[in-house]
Amino acid sequence: MGGRADRQGDDSMTKFKGFDLTQQKYGTRNFSCQGCSNVCRISEVVFPDERPFYHGSRCDRFDAHHLEEGTLPDLFSARQAIVFDRDGTGETTDGMLRFSPPGTARGVIGIPRALSMRDLTPFFCEFFRSLGYEVVISPETNREIIRSSLSGAPPNACLPAKVMHGHVASLLDAGIDTMFIPALIDVANPNTTTPTNYNCPLVQAQPYILQAEFDFAARGVKTITTPLHFYRRELLDREIASIARDLGAGKRELARARDAAEEAAADMRRRILALGHEALEIVADGATGIVIMSRLYNSTDRMLSLDLPKKLRSLGVLAIPIDALRWEEIDVDQLYPFMQWHAGKRILAAAEIVRKSDRLWGLYLSHFNCGPDSFIVHYVRETLKSKPFLTIELDEHSADAGVLTRLEAYLDSIGALTQHPRPPQPRPLTGIKRGFDRTKKIYIPYMCDHNYAITGALRHYGYTTEVLPPPDEESLALGRENSSGGECLPFILTTGDLLKLIRRPGFDTNRSCIFMATSTGPCRFCHYFSTQTIILRNLGVDIDFITIESYDAYTVKDLGTPFRRAVWYGLGAVDLLQKLLWGTRPYERKKGESNSVYQESLQKVEAALGEGGIRALLQALPAIGERFTRIERTEGDRPLIGVVGEIYVRVNPFSNANLVELIEELGGEARVASLEEWMSYTLYKKAGDSLIRHDWPAHIKTRLERAVLARDGHRLARTFKGFLSDRDRKEAPTEEIIAHSAPYISEAYRGEPVLTVGKAIEYAHTGFDGIINVLPFSCMPGTMVSAVSSRVKHDFDIPWLNLTFDGQEQTNLRTRLEAFLHQTEFHRRATHAHPVK
């Protein structure tokens, strides 16, 4: 076809029937195709005087309108051949692709054809073959794999993550003796300057999730779960060498295998780029090209993508794989410097290529519950602006008919354009600052009461600040109105809080700024402030954001260690103050007295820190502790519940439906993991990062900071001696928390899950009777913790409850908590040698 745009203004040629379809008579029938193992359910629709229309098939067997052979190349099929059998040596048996080593096989290693392992197949296939192993690749995703996945995978994961379960299950039945399921932490990219280049959190988490789902040892199958850092060459060299040693290979064998693997990966890249060169030549000759902007495991898996590339080809459009473009040549860091996901950088580079082209168009393919895509799509819209692009979100329930209709409508909209104006280059996010500004008032969205300690520290150093009111129903409504719908609850609530702020009468954006901390881990928190900047700009509001990040342990420009110490003392004081509240309120005789004393004490903490700094704070704390001892208490003992999980939801009462007070109402006593825990962790990681970089001055400085802050923490805890138990006063060292977590989640995963699991285990060791893990809906780190929680619960014989919050009223929350607390009461009595009634 000479280009879909050649049909401009000619409605008679469109296949899109529109609303007239409701006026036509038609007949339907359904049947099952027996042509292959997919056994597709086919629907036939017959209109008078027209050929039947079929949908539901995964191939073009029933498509009477597909192109004649050779009209446009099938780039996706060509790409698959390059990735999975570039030299034609693989043998297919029952859908499995098998590669034999040069000599007698030392063993059989299985590689699942799912997630990011799909595109690492050439590298690791050659690596293991060169070491003398037979390699078995699981079949292409089919209905049986999906059925198996839906029955065993984490229910909150996206479909591509779920199908990993089915691929692993298929390999376990294929006679392998080793399963290769590494933790793919990051991706090589020499053209980026960002400190991280992560895979999606659920890609990184696969070995931990799969080990919770399958008993590999019982099947006689060993696992290779090594964390792999492709972005950090020195780390990767050590990790690859470790795998080779475990497989019995020497240094010469390792060097030979590594060379073969590198050449296979480079050859794959050369061949795929050649496909892209061919595609651009075809587009230059007049064809319309659509770049499928997505994660490669979404678009190249025919089952998961509903074969979108073939559908586009049947409509006369050239579908182009995203990695067939020279996307690495686009400087994404300049436009979106906070993009820490490799797939996000590639998608945004492709969007920029589409923006600059008159013949290329974009199709954003995603899957339901894809966390990163919920933010990346904001940036794609910002990049393409007025240029039409289509977003298609699929899941296990998606059907062909609706997708095909949307494709036809999109192509007709492109064809109807009389001009192809090029959107302007996206506006850089220049309003984001790294240091505080004394000329502007600093507004801080409320996360928890620890915000007041931060404002106290800032005021002590001469800044004007205000903590915004806690989020409410209005925050939730405004946040949802101005988001894409897939973002996490903390983002929606903080966005709503900011929208309430800018609507205040007389609010002056020129004399105001917003403080929003961030992270550079794989979590979506990294994108709150940048996405909120775009949302506010689109509403006509320009306001500066001030941000500090976890990668350098929230170091504040120009303030340094003294300010960090003041914040540390303030956060620690609120942590201890809350433990006083939680240990007193369940037993108070006069209802409401504990809350009243707590609020008075919180104001004293903020005021002392703001007016006199650390010295004044330490002087004020003993009186606060003493005041709590004067609250009259009832006798009794309750099950002790440890609350862990995603930081915002666990500490924000509105987002967790006042969980702690509900636990108390139902007969329990709660403790929530502290904020000091996270601050300690960021310093620990900063020290480790400097060690990896061989930056000895930075490493020594950070270790000294850790020592000073640890001493400060002990000093702070001593002020509450006599008011709190040792268990409540003392925080376990970060190293201890990480060691607890290590059997379940490797330290190589950066972020909350390591702390969540480690803290839960510490609670189990120190006499707690139950664990509640809280997470926002679609939270990827939270999904990881929920998946491994069954192992922790079993190993420590402790009740465990996972609670997901999305801002909606949960009618069954109380019922679930009642049942859970009944379990914890049994646990309390059993572990404390009390008889169970």
- Domain assignment of residue 124, yes or no: yes
What is the per-residue pLDDT across 80-118, written as a single tens digit (0 to 9) for each? 999 998 788 889 988 999 999 998 999 999 999 999 999
Q: Distance (Å, rounded) from C-alpha 706 to C-alpha 689?
A: 14
Q: With 70 as the cut, is the pLDDT of residue 364 above it? A: yes
Q: Which two tokens stand for residue 421?
A: 């104006």
What is the per-residue pLDDT across 255-311, written as a single tens digit (0 to 9) for each? 999 999 999 999 999 999 999 999 999 999 999 999 999 999 999 999 999 999 999
Q: What is the pLDDT of residue 809?
A: 80
- Domain assignment of residue 304, yes or no: no
Inter-residue contact 758 to 740 (CB < 8 Å): yes
Q: What is the pLDDT of residue 96?
A: 94
What is the per-residue pLDDT across 477-487, written as a single tens digit (0 to 9) for each? 999 999 988 99
- Domain assignment of residue 616, yes or no: no
Say if strands 289-293 and 227-229 run parallel, antiparallel, or are unpaired: unpaired
Q: What is the pLDDT of residue 320?
A: 98
Q: From its phi and psi, is residue 70 left (phi > 0), alpha (psi between -120 and 50) or beta?
A: left
For residue 196, give Cα distances in angstroms to 345, 488, 521, 651. 11, 22, 8, 28
Q: What is the mean pLDDT of the chain?
A: 90
Which of 505, 520, 552 marks a domain boundary? 552
Q: Tell me the H-state helices in 109-184.
A: 117-130, 143-152, 159-172
Q: With 60 as the cut, is the pLDDT of residue 7 above it? A: no
Q: What is the pLDDT of residue 10?
A: 42
What CATH number is attached to the domain comprising 442? 3.40.50
Q: What is the pLDDT of residue 65?
A: 47
For residue 727, give Cα distances in angstroms to 678, 765, 767, 821. 18, 11, 10, 22
- Domain assignment of residue 745, yes or no: no
Q: What is the pLDDT of residue 567?
A: 92
Which of 525, 552, 579 marks a domain boundary? 552
Q: With 50 as the cut, is the pLDDT of residue 740 above it? A: yes
Which stretch, 399-413, 644-658, 690-704, has highest mean pLDDT?
644-658
Q: With 60 as the cut, is the pLDDT of residue 785 above it? A: yes
- Domain assignment of residue 203, yes or no: yes
Q: What is the pLDDT of residue 32?
A: 73
Which of 248, 279, 314 marks a domain boundary? 248
- Domain assignment of residue 534, yes or no: yes
Q: With 60 as the cut, is the pLDDT of residue 372 above it? A: yes
- Domain assignment of residue 538, yes or no: yes
| Number of structural domains in the chain | 2
- Domain assignment of residue 632, yes or no: no
Q: Distance (Å, rounded) from C-alpha 352 to C-alpha 109?
A: 40
Write out the residue range of the structural domain in which residue 476 sits: 432-552
Provide the pLDDT confidence category of residue 5 given band limits of 50, 70 and 90.
very low
Q: What is the pLDDT of residue 36?
A: 65
Any idea what DSSP says for residue 635? -
Inter-residue contact 494 to 448 (CB < 8 Å): no
Which range has the worst mean pLDDT, 211-225, 348-362, 699-713? 699-713
Q: With 60 as the cut, is the pLDDT of residue 60 above it? A: no
What is the per-residue pLDDT across 175-198, written as a single tens digit (0 to 9) for each? 899 999 999 999 998 777 788 899
What is the per-residue pLDDT across 13-58, written as a single tens digit (0 to 9) for each? 555 556 566 667 777 777 777 666 566 777 777 777 676 766 666 5
Provide the pLDDT confidence category of residue 520 given band limits of 50, 70 and 90.
confident
Q: What is the pLDDT of residue 610?
A: 96
